[in-house]
Amino acid sequence: RKEVEQDPGPFNVPEGATVAFNCTYSNSASQSFFWYRQDCRKEPKLLMSVYSSGNEDGRFTAQLNRASQYISLLIRDSKLSDSATYLCVVNLGGAGSYQLTFGKGTKLSVIP
Amino acid sequence: DADVTQTPRNRITKTGKRIMLECSQTKGHDRMYWYRQDPGLGLRLIYYSFDVKDINKGEISDGYSVSRQAQAKFSLSLESAIPNQTALYFCATSTGGPGGQPQHFGDGTRLSIL
């Protein structure tokens, strides 16, 4: 049973392009949402939290759609250094749960 | 960012051996976690601890045990290693608080069981 689902990609995009990833989650009671970035053979690193009203951090914009149970990540003006795997992370159990469930990731390659 | 330190970074060992992976943190976080990552399977939670002497099983705890010796230290043991425990292992920490808090990961331990 897939609880946090992402398109594995790869997404191959040219430098300067805009790219968007979606992630769906199974439990409408989920409370916390994050995007992590993981480089090959490295540890996952928190990219940004996702808030109900949507939030932006430089070239990165995260959105939450509770009605359709998905979150999205938009990357504008892609850089070569954005090449990585992006993990969608959700606390599926809601406010009473402290565990996070990680998606399997979407691989992004930014091409010169 | 060496706030979460894992040792060893790499380990190759034989089937049946006992192995301990160690994790220490200087972030002052109460919660600590052990995950394994396999290609195509993503990160899976093995054990987690919210405080010293608090131990909870995760999704895939069989074949593993843990010890929370202090707030800053959380070790993972494989009592009798088997080849399908070959994986990349991560320790993570987080603050307390309601719901899921963002977790901060160590550099990982690459473990190979022959």
pLDDT for B57-82, tens place per residue?
A: 999 999 999 999 899 999 999 999 99
Could you tell me which of A111, A103, A110, A109 has the C-alpha nearest to residue A22? A103
The closest CB to that of A43, out of B58, B100, B105, belongs to B105
Q: B80 φ, ψ to 5°?
A: -145, 95
Quote the CA–CA distance of B103 and A18 in Å, as a whole number: 28
* Interchain proximity A31–B99, CB inside 8 Å: yes
Quote the CA–CA distance of B74 and A19 in Å, as a whole number: 39
pLDDT (tens digit per residue) in A23-51 = 999 988 888 999 999 999 899 999 999 98
Determine contact, residues B108/B6, Cβ cutoff 8 Å: yes
Q: Does A43 touch chain B (CB under 8 A)?
A: yes
Q: Does B112 touch chain A (CB under 8 A)?
A: no
Higher pLDDT, B4 or A94: B4
Q: Does A109 touch chain B (CB under 8 A)?
A: no
Quote the CA–CA distance of B23 and B76 in Å, as a whole number: 8
Confidence tier at A2 by pLDDT (50, 70, 90):
low
Q: Provide the 3-class DSSP secondary structure of residue A81.
A: helix
Which residues of chain A make contact with B41, given a CB cutoff of 8 A? 104
Which residues of chain A make contact with B40, given a CB cutoff of 8 A? 104
From residue B92, alpha-carbon distances to A46, A89, A98, B104 in Å are: 12, 14, 13, 5
From residue B9, alpha-carbon distances to B1, B106, B108 in Å are: 15, 10, 6
Quote the CA–CA distance of B108 and B91 in Å, as a whole number: 7
Q: Does B89 touch chain A (CB under 8 A)?
A: no
Q: Does A29 touch chain B (CB under 8 A)?
A: no
Which residues of chain B make contact with A42, given a CB cutoff of 8 A? 107-108
* Interchain proximity B90–A43, CB inside 8 Å: yes
Q: Which two tokens stand for residue A4?
A: 């946090």
Indicate the length of chain B as a whole number: 114
